[in-house]
Amino acid sequence: MKLSDYQAQALLTDKMPVSQGTADDAAHLVPMLGLAGEAGQLLAEYKKWLRDGPGHVLFVDRVAEELGDILWYVANLASKYDLNLDEVAQQNLRKVSDLHGRANSADPLDAAYKETERLPRQFVITFWEIREGSQVQVRTEINGRLIGAALTDNAYNDDGYRFHDIFHVAYAAILGWSPVLRGLLRLKRRSVPLIDEVEDGGRAAVIEEGIAAVAFDYARRHKYLEAVTDVDDSLLSTLRGMSEHLEVSAQPMSYWRKAVLDGFTVWRELVKHGGGRVSADLDKREILYLGPADNATTTAAALASE
- Mean pLDDT value across residues 271-290: 96
Q: 3-100 maps to which CATH number? A: 1.10.287.1080
- At 63-101, the pLDDT tens digits run 999 999 999 999 999 998 899 998 988 888 877 777 776
pLDDT at 270 over 80: yes
DSSP characters over the chain:
--HHHHHHHHHTT-SS-GGGT--HHHHHHHHHHHHHHHHHHHHHHHHHHHHHGGG-TTHHHHHHHHHHHHHHHHHHHHHHTT--HHHHHHHHHHHHHHHHS--S--S-TTTTS-GGGS--SEEEEEEEEEEETTEEEEEEEETTEEEEEEE---SSS--SGGGTHHHHHHIIIIIS--HHHHHHTT---TTSHHHHHHTSSHHHHHHHHHHHHHHHHHHHTTGGGTT-----HHHHHHHHHHTTTSGGGGS-HHHHHHHHHHHHHHHHHHHHHTEEEEEEETTTTEEEEEESPTTHHHHHHHHHT-
Q: Where are the domains of the chain?
A: 3-100, 115-304
- Over the chain, what is the mean pLDDT? 89
- At 31-69, the pLDDT tens digits run 898 999 999 999 988 888 888 877 666 788 889 999 999
- At 147-164, the pLDDT tens digits run 999 999 999 999 999 999
Place 199 in a pLDDT band, splitting at 50, 70 and 90: very high
